[in-house]
Amino acid sequence: MAIPEVVLSSTSPATAARAIPVLGMGTGLGHFTPEQRPATKHAILQAIELGYRHFDTAAMYQSEDVLGEAIAEALQAGLIHSRAELFITSKIWCADAHRDLVVPAIRESLRNLKLEYLDLYLIHWPMRLKAGESYPPIESHHILPFDLKSVWEGMEECHRLGLAKHIGVSNFTTWKLAELLQYAKVPPAAVQVVEMNPTWQQKKLREFCKEKGVHVIAYSALGGQDIFMGKNLVMESQVLKDIAKAKGKTVAQVSLRWVYEQGASMVVKTLNKERIEQNMKIFDWELSEEDKHKISQLPQCKRVTLRSMLSAEAASKLPDEDEVVEE
């Protein structure tokens, strides 16, 4: 069954923007190493062959160029006929979250991807680092005050120049998103990408996004990769295991189906062909009211936090209010 698509509302009528396939493949592999390149490219090609058209990358993941190579090969092999069939997302890293670095940053991402435009460009985190300072663990002396208004102006310029069909944000709280919506000229910031799954349901944020017409894309829809945290609360949930068993589905499918039924899109990471295929098989069945009620009662626990990207020294200086946790 083909992956359903959602039309995003923000683009100007003049922009021929592609609808977003609700299931995409994530290429953020935690700690990406050169050894993972061939397997990653192979998995992307397999996904395209199976019908995936939506791929998620970021400057920070260092997977942009592998994705670009896979896209070029897919075109050459005739797996797709044109780049326009794809929906490609990338994200600006915090060290480029400076007004004058935004357009150069998207141009660099496009160079890596060998593409002329992105379907979606996101502010990866509401945080600014000193230019040139790179990746986690982040030291406190690299952190600068984040000027959302000026960074968003840079994002709007990317949109105006045709380098990004849609612009949006990631890891924003409702109050940060509300601030942005007050002055965003490209109306509205159409997409918010956040951690979301049955054990971190994001109810408050989703309600806010629905009211404002902002589409939510879930990451860590399967609870995330265990390199960050030993226990995977989604995959180990007895409630989800019971629902999966009764339905003849896997826990992964139940979790992804739940995300889909909340009206969100999702980007899921796996390089395993059977799993890539299994994760697509969520569109021709439903969770019952009883299943949904049980899932709504699951204990909630946030996994990805700003704190998790900081060095111990920087985390110790983080004021509590920066660790806002919303349910």
Active site residues: 61
d(Cα 254, Cα 145) in Å, to the nearest integer? 40
CB 25 within 8 A of CB 52: yes
Q: Who's near 60: CB < 8 A, 6+ residues apart?
A: 28, 91, 93, 124, 135
Please identify, among the stretches 22-30, 45-53, 201-209, 307-315, the one whose residues bind ligand NAP according to the rule CB under 6 A.
Answer: 22-30
Quick check: 94 binds ligand NAP (CB under 6 A)?
A: no
Quick check: 27 binds ligand NAP (CB under 6 A)?
A: yes
Length of the chain: 327
Quick check: 202 binds ligand NAP (CB under 6 A)?
A: no
Quick check: 166 binds ligand NAP (CB under 6 A)?
A: no
Provide the b/e sequence for 173-189 (b: ≥16 CB within 10 Å): bbebbebbeeebebebb
CB 66 within 8 A of CB 44: yes
* Closer residue to ligand NAP in complex, CB, 160/245: 245
d(Cα 263, Cα 173) in Å, to the nearest integer? 19
Quick check: 40 binds ligand NAP (CB under 6 A)?
A: no
Least Å distance, CB 177 to ligand NAP, is 14
Using CA of residue 175, residue 136, residue 114, residue 4, what is the dihedral sign?
negative
Q: Which of 9, 144, 181, 225 binds ligand NAP (CB under 6 A)?
A: 225
Quick check: 275 binds ligand NAP (CB under 6 A)?
A: yes
Quick check: 272 binds ligand NAP (CB under 6 A)?
A: yes
Q: Which of 53, 56, 174, 199 binds ligand NAP (CB under 6 A)?
A: 56
Specify the pairing of strand 118-123 against strand 164-170.
Answer: parallel
Count residues contacting ligand NAP (CB under 6 A)?
A: 27
Q: In this structure, what token pair is assigned to residue 122? A: 């996101």
Q: Which of 223, 243, 282, 287 binds ligand NAP (CB under 6 A)?
A: 223
Quick check: 267 binds ligand NAP (CB under 6 A)?
A: yes
Least Å distance, CB 112 to ligand NAP, is 15
Quick check: 220 binds ligand NAP (CB under 6 A)?
A: yes
d(Cα 272, Cα 222) in Å, to the nearest integer? 14
What region, left, alpha or beta, does residue 51 occupy, with left being phi > 0 and alpha being psi -120 to 50 degrees? left
Binding site for ligand NAP (CB under 6 A): 26-28, 56, 124, 170-171, 193, 219-225, 250, 252, 267-272, 275, 278-279, 304
